[in-house]
Chains A and B, each alone.
Chain A
Amino acid sequence: MEISILRGEEAQSYNVELENVTLLTVLNHIKTKIDPTLTYSHGCRSGVCGSCAVRVNGREALMCEYKPSDGDLIEPIRNTRVIRDLVVDSGMVERFNCSANTWSEGSDKGNVSEEDASRIETQSDCILCTSCYSACPVYALNPNFIGPFALTRVWRYVNDTREESSNAKLAAVQTNGIWDCTLCGECVPVCPQNIAPKQDITMLRMKSVMMGYQDPNAAMAFGGGLNF
């Protein structure tokens, strides 16, 4: 099987005699047996550490969960600086989670019903692999967009019945946040954990409207001319 890996400006092809193994196994084979300069991130090899997201033929995938076929093109994820080969700057994880206040404010509430617990089960499955961030087209226009993984995380805390107040969290995502999303849904199919950030963003919008926030785009739709 021949696979190509984008290394800087150019793609390099490697021929490997491996069948029915994960892409990560193939890359480990290349690095330890063929070309030790090939550079990529990996960790748990079982889909929970979130280190090994790349793009395969233009679509995000975890290397430890994807089984490659002949002719595949492997590229680093998008919307961030490539450090070397498939390794990228992951500074967006800390930056966007901080600007969106994605944390618990602390709660003494002990009991939570099974049903309430299940409301945040999927969202808290996030492994921060940043596949959704790579797939999001909004970054081409707005590099400060808080984006899918951080907004899902906001919804995970806003929707947690143990949290007493979500006002500050909702306030933090009004600018460069929920209203900047185009709801195109590109983030949904690429999530290895079956999270749907688009849906979580929609929920945050509804909650925001209930709390008295306005969609700035809706105001713009009136032409911005009704200046009473």
Chain B
Amino acid sequence: MKTYDDLAGDGGSNIVDQVQALGVKLRSRLDRIKHKVALMSGKGGVGKSSLTANVAACLVDKGYSVGILDADLNGPSICHLLGVRNSQKLVVDENGVQPGTGIHGIKLMSMDMLLSSPDSPVMWTEEADATAVWVSTMESTALRELVADTDWGDLDYLLIDMPPGSDRIDNIRGLIPELAGVVEITIPSMLSQHIVAKSITKNNKMKVPILGLVENMAGYTCPHCEKEGPLFEGQDVEELAKQKNIPYIGKIPFDTRIGRKTDSGSLFYMENKDSVTGKAIGSAVDKILDSI
């Protein structure tokens, strides 16, 4: 009787070839992007997306071409921050899906670009009776398609705005093995540091490179007089970085302006780079670039 290897092909569906073809497509996209950096935190609400947008603005200001992948499938916010409206037509052509172009020419791909209305949640057609396994596998597949089927073109940096938690990094690491590393973000509160410490431990165990730890919302800066004051009580975040043996990138103050566009439609960093917060973002970006 013949064995598996005696039979040519794989039964008619060419699944092996198809998987290889998908891998080739993914690789062809990634090879045109010089550096891939994920910004993450175990904790939600620490300002990841606002910071990601302003880090991108800072990189553009330095002359780099930048894209952002919104990996927060269920809570996408990058389109909103970069001024890409839901009403913009999605362009699908022979090269794949064209990314959105946000403020300052930042390219982006987000679930928000794929949904028919701004208030549509990300729901899968089979969700009503779908198992958790099915939803989870759909999310992994969706993430792969967002990376591989977006026509990113040539980029110096692709920033990946991660969802809260530390589970999605498994997908990203699988998709982008050459990931330059992750930037961990925490706020000074004890609770945030407690959770972010777990994320750092997990990344260390998985051997995901950690570029450093950012202390976001580290004190309050008055937008009028730029005086600083405390905002959260907590342990020294620099100490956490030392304990975990990762670089401490620095403090970025809480600034109500950081998450919104300026009157002229720019991101905060572009018009406030000499402010206390702007300088802090600039310094953080310099340290991130030094570590890549």
Task: Please say whether chains A and B are actual partners in one complex.
Answer: no
Binding site for B on A (CB under 8 A): none
Binding site for A on B (CB under 8 A): none
